[in-house]
Amino acid sequence: KQQPKLLPTYHRFRNHLLRMWSAFQEAQAEHDKAERESAERFWASLRLVRSTRGPGAEAWSIVNVDDERRGEVNVIWGEPHPYCLVVLDDAIEAGGWEQVIYRLEQEILVEEPGDVSYAVWHKGFVGEYYRCADCGELHSQFDEDAGKELRLDDLDPPDER
DSSP-derived letter for residue 159 is: G
| Closest among 39, 56, 44 to 105, alpha carbons compared | 39
User: What pLDDT does residue 25 have?
Assistant: 95
- pLDDT (tens digit per residue) in 2-51: 677 888 889 999 999 999 999 999 999 998 899 888 888 888 889 888 98
140 Cβ contact partners less than 8 Å away, ≥ 6 residues apart = 127, 128, 129, 147
Whether the predicted model's global pTM rises above the 0.85 cut = no
Q: Pairing between strand 117-122 and 83-88?
A: parallel
Q: Whole-number mean pLDDT of the chain?
A: 82
**Measured distance CA(51)–CA(38) in Å, rounded:** 26
